Amino acid sequence: MRTSKLNRGTSDDRLDLLIISEEILEEGFNKYNAYHADKHWEFLRRAELLPEEIVAAGERYGVAEYLKTFKDPSGRALPTIHLPHRPSLALCDLATVTHRAGYKVALLDNVFRYDFRWQQFCDLCARHRPRIIGLSTTFLVNPELVAKLLKRIREQSGDAIIVLGGPTVRKASSLHELVDYVVFGSGEMPLLGILAALEGRCAIESIPSIAYRDASGVVQYTESKGNTLVKLGHAFRMRDDDSIPIPDWGLYSRSRRNVVSLEASRGCQYNCYYCSYDRGKIVRTMDSIREELVGNAALGIVRYRLGDSNFTDGPPNNRRYAYEVCQTMIDTGLPLEWSCYARVDNMTQELADLMRRAGCRAVFFGVESGDDGVLKLMRKGHDVADARAGVRIARAAGLLVHVNIIVGYPGDTFESYRKTVDFVEETRPDTFTIAKFWLDHNAPVSGPRMKDLQITGWGNKWKHGTMDSETAEQLIRDAQNELVGLGLNIGNEYDIAGLTSVGFDFDRCLEHFAAMRDLLADTVSEERRNAARITVRRSLLEIVPQSVAEDQRAMRGAVDVAFAAAAAAVA
C-alpha cells in the first residue's frame, strides 16, 4: 500500500487532493455506434457543414479545438463539433466535503477532452504536487479507456496516490490493481476515511466500501453494507448511512451559463430488471435544499438538471416528498428552471402543476415499452395505461415530455415492438429516443429468474429467445425513420441541459429538435429542409461557439482559482 503523509492545514504549496473527471470520449464510444456515425455523416451533408467552416467559427470566437476528428466504426475520419461536458456534481460534492474538512483540494473536468485542459492538469501536478489524485468514472463506461487514462495520469503524477471511483470500478475489477485505492458507491465518506488513514487517524481496514493494495501489492476489499463488486443478476444497494452534501459551486471554475446538477435524493426504490442502479433511497431536508438554491443563486446559478433517478417518487415514510420539494422551490421566489427524471405512474395533475410552478420545464419518462407483457418482464411497475395517463397529465401542465423506449429486452418480439412504436405515434411526446437493450451482468435480467429466455452476450451484443442485437438495431432504424416521417422529434430531455449550457434558451431547444428532425427526414418539403439548415447552421456556427468560448475562458483560470480556493481552507 502506497502512503503519502498528509499535513492538513500546512502553508506549503502542495495540494492534498486533486480530483479530475471526464465523460464518454468518442474514441471509446464510436465503435459501438455505427448507426449514429452514419446519421452524423448524413447530418453533415444535409446541413452543408464543412470542417473548415467549423474550424473558422471556433477561431472567430476564440474556441480551442472546436472541431476534432475521430475514427468512426468503419475507420473513416469523422469530423465532430467538440463540446465540453457539463460541470460534474460528483466532482463538486467530493471537493466540497474535503475542502470543508480542511484539506487543500482542487478540481478539474474535461481533462482529456481539450489539450489546454490536460496541460492545466500537468501544470497543477508540477507546481502543486498533489499528494492524492482522484479520478471519477461516473461517465467513463469503457474499462479499456479508463486504463489508458490512468496510465497517462501516472506518467504525470510523480509520487501521488491514485484513487479511482464511480460505477465502472464495480464492474471492472481489472482496474483495481492499476490504482492505490478504489471507492465503491457514494464517495464522500470513504474518501474522507482514506484521507484520515493517511494521516494516521484510523486504520485503512476500518473504512467501508473501498479496496486497497496491501504491502505485497495484493488488492484487499473492506466490508461493505452494499455490494462492492458485481454479483451476477444482483443490483447494487445504497448505504443507509450515506448523506448528500450541499455542493460549493464556488470551487468550480466554469461559466455560470452552465446547467448544474441538483440532487434531492439518491438511489431508486424500484427494481427494473434491466437496471443496476443502486437500490434504496435517501433524501434531503427542505432546509438543506433551500440553502443550496439560495446559495447557488448568489453565484448566478438558477438552472438545474435534477440528478434524482426518479424525482416524482417519495420514500415510504413521505410519499409527498416531491410535492414538498416543489413548494420549497416556489417559496424561494427564485427564477428557477429545471428538468428531471419522472415516472408515469407517479404523475398526478396536482404534482405536474406544482412542478411547472416551481420552474420545471421538461420530464424524462422511462416508458420503455408499449406492451404490457414486456413491461411485466421488465418489472417496471407501470402498465401502458399508466404511461398514456402520465404523458397526458404532464403535457396538460405545460411540461415538455420526453419518452424513452428500449427495443430488444428479453421477451420483446416484433409484435410487441410494433405496439411500442404505435404507442409513441399515439401519444406524440415532444421528443423520443429508442435505445437498444443493454445487457448488464449485475442487473437482475442476468439472474436466474430470466434463464428460460436463454440470454447470452454482454453490453450491446447479445442474443436471447425472442431477438438478437442485430435485429434490434434494424428495428430501431425502421422505427426512427417511421416516427420522424410522422413529424416526431428525436431528442432527449437530458439534451436540454446540454443545449442550454451552450447558449440556447428553452424555446430554442425545441426549435433545434424540430430543425434536426426536418433536416434528416426524407418526407419534408425542400422549403422546410432549407429553413432547418439555416437554423442548425446558425446554432453551430454562431450561438454555440460564443457560449463555449465563455466557458473555456472560465476554465483557463481554473489552475490559479482552484489553488486559491484550496489555500483558503487553511488560511
The DSSP bridge partners found for residue 400 are: 362
Query: Is residue 503 scored above 80 in pLDDT?
Result: yes
Burial class (CB in 10 A: 0-12, 13-18, 19+), 385: exposed
146 secondary structure, DSSP code:
H
Task: Give the HSE-up count for residue 99: Cα atoms under 13 Å, Cβ half-sphere.
Answer: 27
Spell out the domain ranges in the chain. 1-244+528-571, 259-500
**Whole-angstrom distance, CA of residue 436 vs CA of residue 414:** 14
Say if residues 402 and 391 touch (Cβ distance below 8 Å). no
Tell me how far apart the alpha carbons of residues 117 and 562 are, in angstroms, rounded to a whole number: 13
For position 13, what pLDDT does the model report? 81
**pLDDT category of residue 5 using cuts at 50, 70 and 90:** low
What percent of the chain shows pLDDT beyond 70?
90
How many whole angstroms separate alpha carbon 452 and alpha carbon 456?
Answer: 11
Q: Which residue has the higher pLDDT, 59 or 73?
A: 59
Q: Report percent pLDDT > 90 for the chain.
A: 61
pLDDT of residue 224: 67
Max CA distance (Å), the chain: 71
The closest alpha carbon to 46, from 536, 547, 429, belongs to 536
Structure confidence at residue 28 (pLDDT): 41
Whole-angstrom CA distances from 193 to 83, 201, 210, 283 are 35, 9, 10, 23
The continuous run of DSSP H or E covering 133 comes out as: strand 132-139
CATH fold for the domain made of 259-500: TIM Barrel (3.20.20)
CA 308 to chain centre: 11
Report the pLDDT value the prediction gives residue 233, as an integer from 0 to 100: 45
Average pLDDT over residues 358-363: 96
Report residue 70's pLDDT band, with 50, 70 and 90 as the boundaries.
confident
The residue that leads in pLDDT, 316 or 369, is 369
- Could you tell me the pTM of the whole model? 0.89
Q: Which of 33-37, 306-310, 315-319, 372-376 has the lowest mean pLDDT?
A: 33-37
Q: Is the pLDDT of residue 198 over 60?
A: yes
The type of residue at 54 is I
Mean pLDDT, rounded, for 511-518? 89
* Range of 40-54, 57-71, 309-323, 329-343 with top mean pLDDT: 329-343
Compute the chain's Rg from CA coordinates: 24
The mean of the pLDDT values for the chain is: 87
Say how far apart CA 523 and CA 510 lie, in whole Å.
20
Predicted confidence (pLDDT) at residue 273 exceeds the cutoff of 50: yes
DSSP-based three-state secondary structure for 78 = strand
Specify whether the CB–CB gap between 262 and 338 falls below 8 A.
yes
Main-chain phi, psi angles of 289, to 5 degrees: -65, -45
Q: How far does Cα 187 stand from its chain's mean position?
A: 16
Q: Confidence band (pLDDT; 50, 70, 90) for 230?
A: very low
The CA distance from 147 to 483, in Å, is 40
Q: How far apart are CA 551 and CA 544, in angstroms?
A: 11
> Which pLDDT belongs to residue 559?
56
Report the alpha-carbon distance of residue 509 to residue 64 in Å, rounded.
Answer: 24
Q: Does pLDDT of 157 surpass 50?
A: yes
Look at residue 231 and tell me whether its pLDDT is greater than 70.
no
Phi, psi for 139 (deg, rounded to 5): -120, 25
- Within 13 A of 341's CA, how many CA atoms are on the CB side? 16
Which DSSP string do the residues of 436-481 spell out, in sequence order? E--B-TTSGGGSGGGGGG--EEEBTEEE-SS-BHHHHHHHHHHHHH
Alpha carbon distance 298, 300 (integer Å): 5
Of the two residues 406 and 558, the one the predictor is more confident about is: 406
Band (146; pLDDT cuts 50, 70, 90): very high
Q: Which phi and psi (to 5°) does residue 21 adopt?
A: -150, 165
pLDDT beyond 80 at 1: no
Task: Note the pLDDT tens digit of each residue in 518-550.
Answer: 888 877 889 999 999 999 999 999 999 999 999
Model pLDDT, residue 30: 42
Give 446's pLDDT tier (boundaries 50, 70, 90): confident
Q: For Cα atoms 171, 174, 180, give the angle at the middle one, nearest 5 degrees.
A: 105
**87-99 mean pLDDT:** 93
Output 19 or 458, whichever has higher pLDDT. 19
Asked which of 18-32, 212-226, 503-517 is least confident by mean pLDDT, the reply is 18-32
Does the structure show a pLDDT above 90 at 111? yes
Q: Answer yes or no: is pLDDT of 344 > 60.
A: yes
